[in-house]
Structure 1
Amino acid sequence: MNLKDKIRVVPDYPQEGISYKDVSTFLRDSESFRFAIQELSRKCANLRPDVIATAKARGLMIGAPMAYVLGVSLVTMSRPGQLAGDVFSLSQDHEFGSDAREVNKDAIKPGERVLIVDELLATGSTAQTAIKMVEELGGIVVGTAFLIEITELGGRDKLKDYDTISLVQYNY
């Protein structure tokens, strides 16, 4: 199945020169969505994760169904102020500025095998932040998985120490 046919590309968004990959059209096609989740889960099963960690925004759309298919738990990494309880926070720089993520301190247990999942790999900064958070909480990152990868932006190079899986690749 050609998933690129189901992903809308919006030129010059959110700024001129950026070619935004809009997954809303992909999510609207149940056959493509099911195929992608099953295929990405199949490719990640050999990593034997205990937990999927994902960004609470768009990554949750991919990470939650993958956790269900793989029969593992799910941890969300949120923007500051969205989580109750004792949180661990980490700032990140990315292609559009800087940001921070938070996760509950008890969400990742020492020694747990964690798969980082998001909908898009671009520069790799969000994934690097997630990896650092998991490792500082004592988890073992077994790999990273993405629906879409923008190969020209070099994110995979930043994740070279981890198995990295993506289903759809764009040059830019």
Structure 2
Amino acid sequence: MDDLRSRLITGFTWRSDPPVWPATRTYYADYSAWWRDSAVLAQIGPALAGLFRDMQPTVVLGTESHGFLLGPLVALHLGVGFAAVRKEPERGSHDEVWLVRRTPPDYRDRHLDLAVRRSVLRSGDRVLFVDEWAATGGQALACRQLVEDAGARWTGAAVVVDALESSADRRALGLRGLLHVRDLNRR
């Protein structure tokens, strides 16, 4: 785990857009180097799964896009399936049943519609949500509602970086992270 933490921190950079005004600068997280590092890819699924080893999930849930990468890595380690949550979904046919929820405002102050096919979330499932970053928790909160809509049980949220501002949301989501945002000091 120490090797993974070190690689995650080393492979992370705060980037900034050019300032609009001299005192205005917008910072954003760049973790693209994580996906290039084969050791990170090999270790991150087991590490995220390990945050919830005691919960015995039956399915892993992840949102596009990074949840689609991390979710299967975690599911593979746990020996369970993966359920994909689409953002702003378009139905491929009219015979598909989708569960849909709208997020509270995200870090860009957007509301998104999140949807999962009803056939991949089953009543009685124990669902582990996986993503790379939690800032407002909006997507995880909407996914928790999708899980409840399906009659499944939310076991928690495993993220690479916990940047959640609300302790109440952290508790409600059962959120656990490999890193906290304070571990990624601005350089």
Kindly state the Cα deviation for residue 74 of structure 1 after the two structures are TM-superposed: 0.4
Q: Is the 8 A contact 1:79 1:101 kept in 2?
A: yes
C-alpha distance in 1, partners of 2:178/2:27? Answer: 18
TM-score by length of 2: 0.81
Q: Is the 8 A contact 2:51 2:158 kept in 1?
A: no
Letter in 1 for 2:163: I
Match of 2:13 among 8, 17, 37: 8
Moved more, 51-60 or 4-13: 4-13
| Equivalent position of 1:94 in the other structure | 106
Q: Is the 8 A contact 1:117 1:146 kept in 2?
A: yes
| Equivalent position of 2:126 in the other structure | 113
Give the SS at the match of 1:160.
helix
Identity, in percent, stands at 21
Is 1:159 matched up with 2:164? no
Is 1:77 matched up with 2:85? yes
Kindly state the Cα deviation for residue 101 of structure 1 after the two structures are TM-superposed: 0.7
Q: Is the 8 A contact 2:15 2:30 kept in 1?
A: yes
| Equivalent position of 2:71 in the other structure | 63
Letter in 1 for 2:158: A
Letter in 1 for 2:175: T
Letter in 1 for 2:134: L
C-alpha distance in 2, partners of 1:167/1:76? Answer: 22
Letter in 1 for 2:156: G
C-alpha distance in 2, partners of 1:160/1:30? Answer: 32
Letter in 2 for 1:45: R
Letter in 2 for 1:95: Y
Kindly state the Cα deviation for residue 148 of structure 1 after the two structures are TM-superposed: 1.2
Pick closer, same or farther for the CA change 1:126–1:162 going to 2, 3 Å: closer
Match of 2:160 among 117, 131, 147: 147
Give the SS at the match of 1:106.
helix
Q: Is the 8 A contact 1:128 1:159 kept in 2?
A: no
C-alpha distance in 1, partners of 2:99/2:26? Answer: 32
Pick closer, same or farther for the CA change 1:29–1:111 going to 2, 3 Å: same
Give the SS at the match of 1:110.
coil
Superposition RMSD on alpha carbons, in Å? Answer: 2.1
C-alpha distance in 1, partners of 2:163/2:17? Answer: 15
The runs of 5 or more residues in structure 1 that have no matched partner are none
Kindly state the Cα deviation for residue 149 of structure 1 after the two structures are TM-superposed: 1.5
Q: What is the total number of aligned residue pairs between the two structures?
A: 169
Moved more, 52-61 or 18-27: 18-27
